[in-house]
Amino acid sequence: MSDVKETIQKTVTDNSVVLFMKGTKEMPQCGFSSRVAGVLNYMGVEFADVNVLADENMRQGIKDFSDWPTVPQLYVKGEFVGGCDIITEMTLSGELDTLFTEQSITFDKDAADKIREANG
């Protein structure tokens, strides 16, 4: 299992934004993963996606790594941000915009505003 932990650590270190998810950003395999990937894609955020369904060790390993029981899991600059509910709340409150700005992550502010308008 230490190999999986090392792989996860390298992935979150080597990529500014990483989404551990069921499926891929092009083809999510669950509604929660689809929602988070959809928000990131709509906001134009470049992110690495890791399909936990492709590797059972990764599927359990990411839960152990973050001490978070569910997938998807979003990491920004090596830090665990949260799962679907947290990312949804952060998107709607503007906290995700703030996080991306503080971490120098490029995103489309107009798209983020449209998400809030549509859900306000």
Whole-number mean pLDDT of the chain?
A: 96
The answer to whether the CB of 108 falls within 8 A of the CB of 43 is yes
Residue numbering of the annotated binding site for [2Fe-2S] cluster:
30
Q: Which residue shows structure tokens 């998400």?
A: 115
Residue 32 carries which side chain, given as an amino acid letter?
Answer: F
**Dihedral (Cα; 84, 88, 91, 92), 10-degree rounding:** -170
Q: What is the pLDDT of residue 1?
A: 55
Annotated binding site: 30
Average pLDDT (20-45) is: 97
**Chain-centre distance for alpha carbon 32:** 11
pLDDT at 120: 79
- Domains present along the chain, CATH in parentheses: 2-119 (3.40.30.10)
pLDDT at 67 over 70: yes
Alpha carbon 99 to its chain's center: 13
Closest CA to 112 of 93, 19, 28: 93
Q: 33-49 burial by CB neighbour count: b if 16+ within 10 A, else e?
A: bbbbbebbbebebebeb
Q: Give pLDDT tens digits for 52-65.
A: 999 999 999 999 99
Residue 25, pLDDT > 80, answer: yes
